[in-house]
Structure 1
Amino acid sequence: MERLGARDQPSPQWLLGAVSQSGMGRRGVHFPVGVGGRAPRGIEPVHRSQLVGLEVVGGGCDLALQLHRGRLLWCQHAVGLVSHQPDRGSTGMGAQAVSFGDRLQAKWHRQLARHLDRDLRPLTGSMPVISFTFDDAPQSAFERGGDIVRAEGGSATYFCSLGLLGAQTEVGRMASLQHLQRAIHQGHELGCHTYDHLDGWRTAQETFMHSIEKNALAFKTLLGVEPPLHFAYPKSGARWPLKRAVSRRFVTCRGGAESLNAKVADLHLLKACFLDQRAGWPLDDLRALIDLNRRQCGWLIFATHDVDPKPTAFGCTPQRLKEVVQHAAQSGALLCTMTQACQAMNLIDVTGAGGRN
């Protein structure tokens, strides 16, 4: 990876990127935070929304974009694209500071997970689809989040760690059985998030898979419903070969990547965009992402944790969620659960739905 010279580096509020492509493949270029307030000569200024859909790797103050056609980019407020680093999967509670070496290793494992054991399916739906998902899931997501989605005629998916029921956590008080039962009655869907909210990067595969099975059993014994069909990775996301093992258990598995699923989707690691406070997405950019999903007739998955007037770093305010949901509805997208989205996109013939009688 190359580094641009100090004289070419923009101000701390701006990030700079480049990539070249040859017959031997693509070569990424790091771009660090620097000095100066204007785009260097010869570099194309772009809006942050234009970066949506591009593969993003890296972490901290550095970001590497793998682009096509070797364009040089200069973009304001791109920090939100990497704010979840080094945690690029279903980020959540328990994020820890890591060393530079750990980040390099994490980048390598993310690339392996992203490109190995894929189940690529064409998206052939007749209309764009948007799914709103809530991870863990705290009471506020059930008491506020689901109702906001329902107000626009949609249904949400809650990725639950049933071992956390009723517990006080970093994202607030966790939901009770009554919250889950009410969600099912209202037409929402329940997904799996492991029983113990485990980090796949720091947990033995056998332990991780056991927690998934334990969660499935809890859905049956506590709620009297079939195990969920869909999974979202807690904390650090997917790691190969864990991705291979988990994908055999579910119809879809959701990660992060701060992007939408367009043209094709990897059902073993679906892309999602987090609405969390730490993501730092301006509302205009979220609207631009929704509009891009409409034009590409794609599947956009939003994710967050708590929904509160004073949210944690892992959640968002009811007002922000309402604004995003309303624009999603105005875009003409189908606002639906993960199972409904699979059906609408002709991805797979799904009979029944996780978390439903």
Structure 2
Amino acid sequence: MDNPTRRQHYIPQYFFRNFAISGDSLNVFHFSNGMSNSIKIENIAKEDFFYGADTPAFEFEQGLSKFESMHSAIIKKIINSYSLNYLNKDDNTLLRVFTLFQESRTKSSKMFSIYFTKSQTANGKIDITIFKKIRRNEGREMGHPYRTAFGRIMQAPILSYESISDLKIALIINTTNNNFICGDAPTVRFNQLKIENERMESLFSPGLEIFYPINNEILLLFYDPNAYDIDFDYDSICYIDKQADLDALNKLQIINALDFVLFSDINQRENIENLSHEIRTIIDTNVKNTFGSFENSKRFFENFDDNYWKIFCWISKYDNYKLDLSFIHPNIEYKQYWLKKYYDSIKIGIKPELIRNKDLEERVRTKLEEASKDPRNYKIK
């Protein structure tokens, strides 16, 4: 039997090397203790048998290696040219697929898939006892519901990449004295057109944005072109020179990360500590608003898995952060259009359906339904 490697990465090493100024290490800022240290790239974002410890896991890794090689070549094209003009149609498609795939294969994605699966045993109702400690090796074996759930999440980008085919791609090029950072979940969905209490991060949401830094200087931005006006310096290229804009984008990495963020220049450590403190203030405020005091929250969370606290922090950060960028301007008329649709639905007692492209949504849903019958019949077209 072919054996998978023990050390399995959920973010590829070549991606991190694009951030390394020299050598084979990066600085890691840990949320757990607020400390930073230098770690070799080969030891970052990896877990023993993250995908499994059997033949199917070995086969998955073999296929993943080929997929990553294609993605690495595309990223190199962008980095070397500072342009999107050298990407062909296949490059463009694979870039979108891998961007969604990277979002799906992180440690946080796996954790959410496990807890979602556990919640389904409670007659459709969320039972917070699902956050009791999960054994480290639980769910590794083939056919286990946890592994199946995570596998389906990682398969979804291949089935639904067309959901973001209508988004345009921009290059945000950093010209400040500091660098872009990246976290343990570097692909960040966001939406500046939040409507009431609706979560607007669905792949079909009007106003969707996906932020994806690929090195210290370049960030890919996938965006709904009807929702935003961007101050481009050239076709699809925007240079940023304001520290406030860089800080706002780097905060997105802190918000979306589960355990840590990475940075190349040790001189940027104080800046990252300050940004993390600002985000921590958002969490602290939500703790007080939710539990009344830190003491009450401590008594509550001590009964559950540590990951429950991480999930609470992630939701607190994500739902309460306001992104303010000087070079992106939300289209007010577009937001008013969707606000009207939202309130018109509420008035007649219908759940608001905020889907920016119904044809795309129906096409993707059909493919997902077909693939659920036999995933082997589906190929990227």
Shared fold (TM-score greater than 0.5)? no
- Structure with bigger helix share is 2
- TM-score where L is the length of structure 1: 0.30
- Structure with bigger strand share is 1
